[in-house]
């Protein structure tokens, strides 16, 4: 374990990563494909329990967390690659935060896949995301996910957040909120996307699996839930207020809650209809 950490923190890691990318690319293109495309995706932003969803389902479903991560980020706009990748993986569910805000890419090669998004209130998410970014920066030579996804969004390094002045913190907070909000607004406009608040997830797995069109099997609710190892007392709530984001945050919370409650109401109605149909047949 210590040797692998030293490699990851070394500049040499980039060379090994390129070799790994090449091998994975050839694997996707050459090896026998799976049985059809991946059926569903969990694509909410990083630090919204995508790791937990993959772990909870992996015991009885074909579920993976961010397969071919670096290779996919390099080819995220290559639709032919994404299609071949989906057919190669042929999963019940893929849980990948790098597809957050990129639902249109999935729809460009698969109009039928079911989409799951897990929602945390922005304040909780941004605190977890920024602190985890700082933690990762101390363990890796270069956190390529941040470079390939968030540098262009923020025009800054997210792991440097706590070292920046107030004006830069406010600017980053605004940009992170726009990214977060737009990801869920995109999901809410897709008829085959379900947004589930994290606080309801464990009690609602049966309904979630039914939405995903997956046969009901056991879910491991004790699967590892990733928590940031870095803790601090920074006042994110005050910064959100100073960035004039509180009202927008409240609207987003309300939108997600209404989306979820409508889904559950429709789900209960469908169950009742099924029971009546079975009784009358």
DSSP states of 58-99 = TTTS-EEESTTHHHHHHTTT-HHHHHHHHHHH--SEEE-GGG
What does the mean pLDDT of the chain come to? 89
The reply to whether 119 falls in a domain is: yes
- The vertex-146 CA angle with 67 and 85, nearest 5°, equals 25
Max avg pLDDT among 10-19, 217-226, 261-270: 261-270
| Nearest residue to 46 (alpha-carbon basis) of 95, 106, 105 | 95
Domain contains 1: no
Q: What is the pLDDT of residues 107-151, one digit of tens each?
A: 999 999 999 999 999 999 999 999 999 988 877 767 888 999 999
pLDDT of res. 4: 46
Asked whether the beta carbons of 162 and 134 are under 8 A apart, the reply is yes
Lowest mean pLDDT among 50-59, 133-142, 212-221: 133-142
| Domain annotation covers residue 74 | yes
Number of domain units in the chain: 1
Beta bridge partner(s), residue 194 = 116
Residue range 21-40, pLDDT digits in tens: 889 999 898 876 666 889 99
Q: Is residue 146 part of a domain?
A: yes
- Is residue 3, in this structure, part of any structural domain at all? no
Token output for 147: 């470079």
**Domain carrying residue 107:** 13-280
Q: Could you tell me if 130 and 161 are in contact, meaning their C-beta atoms sit under 8 angstroms apart?
A: yes
pLDDT (tens digit, 9 = 90+) per residue, 61-75?
999 999 999 999 999
Residue 274: which pLDDT band, with cuts at 50, 70 and 90?
Answer: low
- The predicted structure's pLDDT at residue 2: 47
**Sheet hosting strand 114-119, strand order edge to edge:** 63-65, 93-95, 40-42, 114-119, 193-197
Q: How far apart are CA 281 and CA 279, in angstroms?
A: 6
CA distance 105 to 114: 14
> In this structure, what CATH number is given to the domain that contains residue 174?
3.40.50
Q: 262, exposed or middle or buried, with CB in 10 Å at 0-12, 13-18, 19+?
A: exposed
On whether residue 245 sits in a domain, the answer given is: yes
H/E run at residue 196 = strand 193-197
Q: What is the pTM of this model?
A: 0.90
In a domain, 243, yes or no: yes
């Amino acid at each position: 374990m210590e040797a692998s950490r030293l490699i990851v923190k070394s500049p040499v890691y980039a060379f090994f990563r390129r070799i790994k990318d090449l091998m994975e690319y050839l694997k996707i293109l050459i090896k026998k494909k799976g049985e059809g495309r991946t059926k569903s995706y969990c694509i909410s932003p990083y630090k919204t329990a995508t790791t937990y969803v993959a772990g909870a389902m992996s015991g009885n479903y074909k579920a993976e967390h961010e397969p071919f991560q670096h290779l996919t980020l390099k080819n995220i706009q290559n639709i032919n690659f994404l299609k071949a990748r989906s057919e190669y993986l042929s999963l019940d569910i893929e849980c990948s935060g790098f597809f957050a805000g990129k639902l249109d890419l999935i729809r460009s090669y698969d109009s039928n896949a079911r989409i799951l998004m897990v929602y945390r209130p922005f304040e909780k998410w941004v605190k977890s995301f920024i602190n985890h970014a700082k933690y990762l920066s101390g363990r890796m030579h270069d956190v390529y996910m941040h470079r390939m996804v968030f540098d262009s969004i923020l025009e800054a390094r997210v792991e440097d957040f706590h070292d920046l002045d107030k004006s830069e913190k406010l600017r980053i907070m605004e940009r992170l909120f726009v990214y977060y909000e737009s990801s869920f607004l995109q999901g809410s406009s897709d008829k085959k996307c379900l947004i589930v608040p994290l606080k309801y997830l464990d009690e609602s797995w049966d309904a979630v699996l039914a939405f995903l069109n997956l046969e009901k099997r056991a879910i491991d609710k004790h699967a590892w839930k990733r928590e940031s190892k870095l803790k601090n007392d920074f006042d994110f709530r005050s910064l959100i207020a100073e960035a004039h984001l509180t009202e927008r945050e409240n609207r987003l919370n309300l939108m997600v809650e209404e989306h979820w409650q409508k889904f559950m109401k429709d789900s209960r109605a469908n169950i009742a209809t099924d029971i009546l149909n079975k009784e009358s047949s």
